[in-house]
Structure 1
Amino acid sequence: MAKKIFIAATMQNDGKTTVSLGLISVLKKHFNKIGFIKPIGQRYLIEQGYKVDEDSVLIEEVFGIKCNIKDMSPVAIEKGFTERYIQKGPEEDYSKLIKDSFERVAKNNDLVIIEGTGHAGVGSVFDLSNAAVAKLLGANVILISSGGIGRPIDEVMLNKPLFDKEGVKIAGIIVNKVLPEKYDKVARLVRMGLEKKGLSVLGVLPYQKILDMPTVRDIKEELNLELLLGGENLDLAVEKILVGAMNVKEAIKFIQNNSLMIIPGDRDDMIRAISEIHTSKLKRCCRISGMVLSGGLIPVGRTRRILEKSKIPVLISEDDTYSVASAVHHILVKLKPQDTAKIKIIVDIVEKNIDIDNVLASLT
């Protein structure tokens, strides 16, 4: 029978997929065949005619995992699912779906990584919280929390009672996204604090800004924007987001390398200045990752020609400048199979900072 471990978190976006991906890579040295399942998914793609959680698709593509794609993501929570469940009850036996999928994945593998969704209580509304699913599959839990000293301890202790209630063992804690300049202090104190609560710390992972930086492609896809120019450079990372609404002379003082410029589409002066900064035609020279032109306005004539020569990726939005800036700011950066540089960083971080021997001892 395959070994298994459930990867949970104290909040959404604490880094479950990051840790799962890193662990699979490192544990491949110890297991010939590793399977993956995300029993309940909230962000799904259509793959082979099925609604499949995007994290399952990521893991399958990165590692070439040979499982039935639907078994890797048995329950996809689509729009209206929760309302229908509350009003009419379950349309299927979701517990059986999850258990049957898990057993098929486990049958052909030596280890199965089970990834939860959100905090311990997510899914309670349809009677399948992370804690309940971990119990259903008989798995110990590795619980991930983020940054600081007090915050991860508080959040772990907030989530722990739900796992305790279901009789699920927390095998250990991983604290993610710790600022590098505070790493030594946080690692020492958070270990002391959690050990006093009877919990083992399996690892403390340093924050890497690049992992939270979207690419221009991410912004295009998440906001469903039209590509005008520069499609060959869509995978440039965005480090800073700036709105080009003031006069040109003042605006260029704020521009840095890897900036995304959000500009009203009729600001020819600003568009030309940014293009020339990018192509080193002005005294101030910076690499611009991309532009989003708001208002559905498309440059023509000389401005268009300058943009084309710059090779800057240019996206068009029908929305006003403020709405575009707000939407870009709230984008959730999700890892994709083509993010090879980010994946390499993740594997390196996990290998260096997680106690793999203790992880191996926690498998059931």
Structure 2
Amino acid sequence: MKRIFVAATRQNDGKTMVSLGLFKAFQNHFHRVAYMKPVGQQYRVVNGEKIDKDAVLMAQTYNLSDPLQDMSPIAIPRGFTTNYIENPHRDELSSRVQKAFDNLAANNDFVLIEGTGHAGVGSVFDMSNADVSKQLEAKVVIVSQGGIGKPIDEILMNKALFDRQGVEVVGAIINKVDARKYDKVRDIAEQGLARHGLKVVGVIPLVHMLSKPSILEVAEDLDAEILTEDHSMLMKQVGKFIIGDQNPHNVLDVLNRNALLIVPGDRDGLITSALAGHLLEYQRDYSVAGMVFTMGIRPHKQIMELVDRSRVPALLVQEDAFSVATRINNSIFKMRAEETDKIRTTQELVDGYVDVERICKLI
């Protein structure tokens, strides 16, 4: 039974994006394809079970029938690491992963296994990506971000951890490559990695819309109350974040490129000014993706009616504006199944820029 382990050099390299596209591509080569995230760090509670967000995304996107518990056997809650260090139980974790994989393997022809972060993530509880790929006897593809020297360094550093476990790394995918440097990055990466016996099986150009979160992603990350009744508006993408600490007339000059306005709900003048600019199309590039009302303050009823009429999605949080902006800035947003444009773009990128035929031969 064929399998592949998709690893990354660090967070935010686009490993899940690549996995999402690879899954569809592998469906063209194998009759039944399964997905597995052995160890997950960000999870949702589904029917009382902690399930990694990426496993939920895959299950919803591809309408998978495999049990979610097999797709995501271990999800790491707060305090897990401390508890493990004080009371190690590697055999139990390893057994859980193996049982889940065996269940998937029994009902499918191919399993795409997605790792968590870089090769060493999970070492603290004896379940690093290198450990897990060895246990599941899976060959590895490493995903890294575009650049000249840095991705080569990071790929080789991660490869060394897999090598130490006797796991074969069959190729590398360079992701998020600036279109202006695409040919140069591809050629240098191929030459540089070939010197170390590693093949480049894909070079994917940067598409900015894939890195822009939707209002729905922001809402989930902030655990915000959604004030907008029409949830279709939550698919709007956010280009930048603006804290509403200006005079009302000054905010008109900074709300562009799908800005998300973070503002206390009692700043009536600033909110109405922003909405007026939106309704009157103040400037050609003027655009408000949405509003986050802070401090737990809901705008006046009449202001909310204007927000709804303007079709600007609105969220409510308890924190102050600075705390909200800091959280957003530090967040790594997860794609959701509802973001069909992003998913379609991801599938097209992998189809056009990754040599899936070659990967199938290498594994």
TM-score (norm. length: structure 2):
0.95
Bigger CA drift: 88-97 or 173-182? 88-97
Once residues 132 and 91 of structure 1 are traced to their aligned partners in structure 2, the CA distance between those partners, rounded to angstroms, is 11
Contact (CA 8 Å) 2:221, 2:333: kept in 1 or not? no
1:330 Cα offset (Å): 2.1
Contact (CA 8 Å) 2:228, 2:315: kept in 1 or not? yes
Contact (CA 8 Å) 1:146, 1:152: kept in 2 or not? yes
Contact (CA 8 Å) 2:121, 2:128: kept in 1 or not? yes
Once residues 285 and 19 of structure 1 are traced to their aligned partners in structure 2, the CA distance between those partners, rounded to angstroms, is 32
Contact (CA 8 Å) 1:278, 1:285: kept in 2 or not? no
Once residues 282 and 10 of structure 1 are traced to their aligned partners in structure 2, the CA distance between those partners, rounded to angstroms, is 44
The answer to whether 1:49 aligns with 2:37 is: no
Question: Which residue in 2 is equivalent to 1:204?
Answer: 203
Once residues 86 and 5 of structure 2 are traced to their aligned partners in structure 1, the CA distance between those partners, rounded to angstroms, is 30
Question: Which residue in 2 is equivalent to 1:18?
Answer: 17
Change (3 A) 1:167 1:340: same
Contact (CA 8 Å) 1:40, 1:77: kept in 2 or not? yes
Change (3 A) 1:239 1:282: closer
Question: Which residue in 1 is equivalent to 2:292?
Answer: 292
Once residues 302 and 50 of structure 2 are traced to their aligned partners in structure 1, the CA distance between those partners, rounded to angstroms, is 46
The answer to whether 1:184 aligns with 2:194 is: no
1:22 Cα offset (Å): 0.6
1:359 Cα offset (Å): 0.6
Once residues 256 and 176 of structure 1 are traced to their aligned partners in structure 2, the CA distance between those partners, rounded to angstroms, is 28
The answer to whether 1:78 aligns with 2:77 is: yes
1:144 Cα offset (Å): 0.7
Question: Which residue in 2 is equivalent to 1:314?
Answer: 314
1:74 Cα offset (Å): 1.2
Identity across the alignment (%): 40
The gaps in structure 2 that reach 5 residues or longer are none
Tell me, what secondary structure is at the counterpart of 2:153?
helix
CA displacement, residues 286-305 of structure 1 (integer Å, 9 cap, x when unaligned): 33110112222232265344
Question: Which residue in 1 is equivalent to 2:270?
Answer: 270
Question: Which residues of 2 match residues 1-364 of structure 1 at below 5 A?
Answer: 2-90=1-89, 93-229=92-228, 231-232=230-231, 233-280=233-280, 282=282, 286-300=286-300, 302-363=302-363
1:278 Cα offset (Å): 1.2
Once residues 176 and 322 of structure 1 are traced to their aligned partners in structure 2, the CA distance between those partners, rounded to angstroms, is 32
Once residues 301 and 53 of structure 1 are traced to their aligned partners in structure 2, the CA distance between those partners, rounded to angstroms, is 38
AA in 1 matched with 2:64: I
Once residues 249 and 329 of structure 2 are traced to their aligned partners in structure 1, the CA distance between those partners, rounded to angstroms, is 25
AA in 2 matched with 1:145: S
Once residues 176 and 281 of structure 2 are traced to their aligned partners in structure 1, the CA distance between those partners, rounded to angstroms, is 39
Once residues 284 and 158 of structure 1 are traced to their aligned partners in structure 2, the CA distance between those partners, rounded to angstroms, is 47
Once residues 86 and 43 of structure 1 are traced to their aligned partners in structure 2, the CA distance between those partners, rounded to angstroms, is 20
Once residues 278 and 34 of structure 2 are traced to their aligned partners in structure 1, the CA distance between those partners, rounded to angstroms, is 45
Once residues 243 and 18 of structure 1 are traced to their aligned partners in structure 2, the CA distance between those partners, rounded to angstroms, is 30
Change (3 A) 1:273 1:285: farther
Change (3 A) 1:47 1:227: closer
The gaps in structure 1 that reach 5 residues or longer are none
1:226 Cα offset (Å): 2.1
Contact (CA 8 Å) 2:90, 2:127: kept in 1 or not? no
Contact (CA 8 Å) 2:119, 2:158: kept in 1 or not? yes
Once residues 252 and 230 of structure 1 are traced to their aligned partners in structure 2, the CA distance between those partners, rounded to angstroms, is 26
CA displacement, residues 209-237 of structure 1 (integer Å, 9 cap, x when unaligned): 11111111111111112233454422211
Change (3 A) 1:308 1:60: closer
Bigger CA drift: 105-114 or 325-334? 325-334
Once residues 47 and 269 of structure 1 are traced to their aligned partners in structure 2, the CA distance between those partners, rounded to angstroms, is 42
Once residues 258 and 282 of structure 2 are traced to their aligned partners in structure 1, the CA distance between those partners, rounded to angstroms, is 17
1:25 Cα offset (Å): 0.5
Contact (CA 8 Å) 1:230, 1:311: kept in 2 or not? no
Bigger CA drift: 188-197 or 169-178? 188-197
Tell me, what secondary structure is at the counterpart of 1:318?
coil
Contact (CA 8 Å) 2:216, 2:235: kept in 1 or not? yes
Once residues 173 and 300 of structure 2 are traced to their aligned partners in structure 1, the CA distance between those partners, rounded to angstroms, is 53
Change (3 A) 1:92 1:194: closer
AA in 1 matched with 2:115: G
Once residues 54 and 154 of structure 1 are traced to their aligned partners in structure 2, the CA distance between those partners, rounded to angstroms, is 29
1:114 Cα offset (Å): 0.8
RMSD, aligned CA: 1.8
Once residues 77 and 304 of structure 1 are traced to their aligned partners in structure 2, the CA distance between those partners, rounded to angstroms, is 39
Bigger CA drift: 97-106 or 230-239? 230-239
Once residues 142 and 6 of structure 1 are traced to their aligned partners in structure 2, the CA distance between those partners, rounded to angstroms, is 6
Change (3 A) 1:185 1:101: same
Aligned residues: 362
